Amino acid sequence: MTRYKASVPLTFEWNHFSYTVTGPVATVTLSRPEKLNALTFESYADLRDLLSELPHHPGVKVLVIQGEGKGFCGGGDVNEIIGELIRMKARELTKFTKMTGDVIRAMRECPIPIVAKIQGIAAGAGAVIALAADFRVVGRSGRFAFLFTKVGLSGGDMGAAYLLPRVVGLGRATSLLMLGDTIDAETADRFGLVSQLVDDDSLDAAVTALAARLAQGPSLALSQTKSLLTRELDMPLSSSLELDAMTQALLMTTDDHGEFHAAFNAKRPPQWRGQ
């Protein structure tokens, strides 16, 4: 237990998805394959809570989010969520929409790199969760659909109108969010939504290799890079340069930076310690 986590214990068993840890890699598996891993109120809440406490889980350096079966995530469950939402009043609706946004905020603010493994459909909330990940490794069966307008809601749900233009550009984001069309993996790759496109039978190996590379890397440098990418999205250049300068000066005092210099002169790979 870390001293930065006090009275509330860490959670290692979750009721609304599968959570496993193998070495430094944690994996969340959305496990409702009969419903294309559709999300429920409870799975949203569990994701939010896990992401908030994950930095305190000892030894975890990478998180993989995946779906069981033929799809990644088909979005919110039509009956278990939408069927309930249409009967709710404004106070409860606001609690729900803030909770879903908290999942995305927690993904972006979590210092641990997040890899989304995409096979089959990533639709609605599933598409935004994939979007909020740091890396999207996509099989050729992968498809994306930001289909919120097709259920009569804003295409800007869960931060999609903030994140998507920054990934694929305003024009393509406008088309994807307003029309709600499904795009295949090759189109998503061409748009810049895909980090790595592979054949489906190579998807597991590609995700494992990327997770291992991240886990073996300089974790402080990676977490600070993720933080800067998120924080500087809305900063003017002068503020970004100031934050960059302060971050680099801090990292120059770390053991990892000194290890690079020692490894370079010894002509050996660096042994990163994350400190």
Domains of the chain by residue range: 18-216, 219-266
Check pLDDT > 70 for residue 195.
yes
In the chain, % of residues over pLDDT 70: 99
Packing angle of the helix pair 41-53, 90-109 (nearest 10 deg): 40
Check pLDDT > 60 for residue 1.
no
Q: Which residue do the tokens 């409702």 mark?
A: 32
Of the options 3.60.20.10, 3.30.450.20, 3.90.226.10, 3.30.1660.40, the CATH number for the domain spanning 18-216: 3.90.226.10
Packing angle of the helix pair 237-251, 219-231 (nearest 10 deg): 170
Residues 6-19: what's their mean pLDDT?
Answer: 91
DSSP state letter for 62:
E
Check pLDDT > 90 for residue 215.
yes
Phi then psi for residue 127, to 5 deg, are -65, -35
Output the pLDDT for position 4: 82
Task: Residue count of the chain, please give it.
Answer: 275
Output the pLDDT for position 218: 96
pTM > 0.85: yes
Contacts with 9 (C-beta within 8 Å, 6 or more apart), sequence order:
1
Select from 11, 28, 176 the least CA-distant residue to 1: 11
Residues 210-226: what's their mean pLDDT?
Answer: 97
Q: If DSSP states are collapsed to H, E and C, what string results for 73-141? A: ECCECHHHHHHHHCCCCHHHHHHHHHHHHHHHHHHHHCCCCEEEEECCEEECHHHHHHHHCCEEEEECC
pLDDT in tens, 148-168: 999 999 999 999 999 999 999
pLDDT in tens, 117-158: 999 999 999 999 999 999 999 999 999 999 999 999 999 999
Packing angle of the helix pair 160-168, 125-132 (nearest 10 deg): 60
Output the pLDDT for position 7: 87
Residues paired with residue 122 on neighbouring β-strands, in sequence order: 73, 144
Report how far residue 141's alpha carbon sits from residue 119's, in angstroms, rounded to the nearest whole number: 6
Contacts with 7 (C-beta within 8 Å, 6 or more apart), sequence order:
none
Q: Assign 174 a pLDDT band (cuts: 50, 70, 90).
A: very high
